Amino acid sequence: MQIRHWVFAGCLLLTAQSFAQTDAAVEAARKKFESGDFAGSKRDLTKILESNPKNKTAFLWRGRTRSALKDFYGAIGDYNFSLEIDSLQAEVYNYRAEAKLSLGDDDGAILDLDKAIKFNPKYTDAFTNRGLAKYNVEDLEGAYFDFSKALELGPADADKYFNRGSVKAELGEFVSAIDDYTKAIELDKNDANLYNFRGVARYNTSNFEAAIADYDVAIKMDAKDPVKFENRALAKSAKEDFKGALEDYNKAIELNNQEPETFNLRGILKHTTQDYDGAIADYTKAMELDIDNPAYYDNRALSKTEKEDYKGAIEDYTTSIELYPSDPETYYLRGMVKLAMNNNYDGCLDLKHAEELGSLEAKAAIKKSCK
């Protein structure tokens, strides 16, 4: 009996040593992960799991290495194994949710994050990630709550204020969004995007000077982002600095000549300054890049109308109607062009159709021009 007892005790000692060695190996693999050696960390963790296939922590960290290597499906598989061993791990639910977010599975991520928060109600990262997932599925109120909770739990950082500010902006709460963007900037003064987004919020409160000031800072930090130049151009246009706006649109197109909306916006600016030929050229380029956008046809038709190219304008309005047949404004505008061509019958038909779709302008035009 004593011999058996001694043997049993020896087995316990060996088992304890084995666990200690495994824990040390997992810790070494974790350090490789933290240093950015994801492939090396994954290789070491795989060896650990070959000898100890019930090590939930090794599965967790191998899942993280796979996520870092963009193998999100493999990561989810490892997180699944870890949760089969221990289903109460809030951290693993959070990381599995992050992998699902990367794959666009927002609903699946929300389910995992609900569990992470259930098992750890003070899990800041889980609230942040659930806020991102809810934002993606357009549950803005839910995202607002989660981002606010993440800020409440802390620690506060620029990303958390940025996230909540962006939700507020989506909800049209631009003044409050500006407050959050400002707090984000106080915590990180070197992020050009923070100034850009605050500029957008300020633009939407009609504070164009402040918006331009923010875009100036953003562009100084990042002069290769066409969106920042496009945003500043919009603010300059609102202040009727058309020369400055044109320069910014030109720069945006120089940086990215494959964005149809920039050509469309520059076309609108040229139309405003009565450069109708230039506007038509820009709208045409926008159509080449996005042939199915009815707004580009409408805009080109407006410029053609100013040049009294009524036939061309009607062709563009007709294409726009084919793409979007429920827009009363297009029927109204085509009707007015037909009236200008003395085609009263067809013009009035368009106006009546526009009225049926809810156009008050068409109703007034019918009263004036159609018997």
Q: Answer yes or no: are the C-beta atoms of 230 and 247 closer than 8 Å.
A: no
Q: How far apart are CA 161 and CA 148, in angstroms?
A: 9
Q: Does the pLDDT value for residue 20 go beyond 60?
A: no
Mean pLDDT for the stretch of residues 190-201: 98
Residue 13 pLDDT class (50, 70, 90 cuts):
very low
Task: Provide the whole-model pTM.
Answer: 0.85
Contacts of 46 (CB under 8 A, 6+ apart): 62
Q: CB–CB of 208/235 below 8 Å?
A: yes
Q: What is the mean pLDDT of residues 139-153?
A: 97
Q: What confidence tier does 10 reach under pLDDT thresholds 50, 70, 90?
A: very low
Percent of the chain residues topping a pLDDT of 70? 94
Omega within 30 of 0 (cis) for the link into 155: yes
* Residue with tokens 């061309």, as numbered in its chain: 312
Report the sign of the C-alpha dihedral through residues 98, 100, 105, 108, in that order. negative
Contact 63, 82 (CB under 8 A): yes
State the Cα torsion 241-247-252-256 to the nearest 10°. Answer: 150
The pLDDT of 214-219, averaged and rounded, is 98
Tokens 């120089």 label which residue? 254
User: Is the pLDDT reported for residue 14 higher than 50?
Assistant: no
Write the pLDDT tens digit of every residue in 38-49. Answer: 999 889 888 989
Annotate 72-131 with DSSP letters as a single string: HHHHHHHHHHHHHH-TT-HHHHHHHHHHHHHTT-HHHHHHHHHHHHHH-TT-HHHHHHHH
> Angle 72-85/56-68 helices, nearest 10 degrees?
170
User: What does DSSP assign to residue 292?
Assistant: T
Q: Which residue type does 235 have? A: A
**Residue 1 pLDDT > 80, yes or no?**
no
pLDDT at 22: 66
DSSP code, position 293: -
Q: Are 126 and 94 in contact (CB under 8 A)?
A: yes
| Helices and strands: H and E segment counts in the chain | 21, 0
Cβ neighbours of 339 (radius 10 Å): 19
Q: Where does the chain show beta strands of DSSP type E?
A: none
Under a CB-based contact definition with an 8 Å cutoff, are residues 162 and 197 in contact?
yes
Radius of gyration of the chain (CA): 30
Q: Which residue has the tokens 């806020």?
A: 131
Dist CA 313 CA 298 (whole Å):
8
- Residue pLDDT, tens place only, 323-354: 999 999 999 999 999 999 999 999 999 999 99
Please enumerate in sequence order all residues whose Cβ is within 8 A of that of 355, keeping only pairs 6 or more positions apart, or say none.
328, 362, 363, 366
Q: How far apart are CA 167 and CA 164, in angstroms?
A: 5
Determine the average pLDDT of the residues in 30-39: 90
Contact 249, 266 (CB under 8 A): yes
**Domain ranges within the chain, ordered by starting residue:** 326-371
Of 354, 337, 357, residue with least CA distance to 366: 354
Q: What is the DSSP letter of 342?
A: T
Q: What gap in Å lies between CA 181 and CA 197, rounded to an integer? A: 7
Using 50, 70 and 90 to split pLDDT, how confident is the model at 26?
confident
φ/ψ of 105, rounded to 5, equals -90, 75
Best CA proximity match to 49, nearest among 40, 62, 39: 62
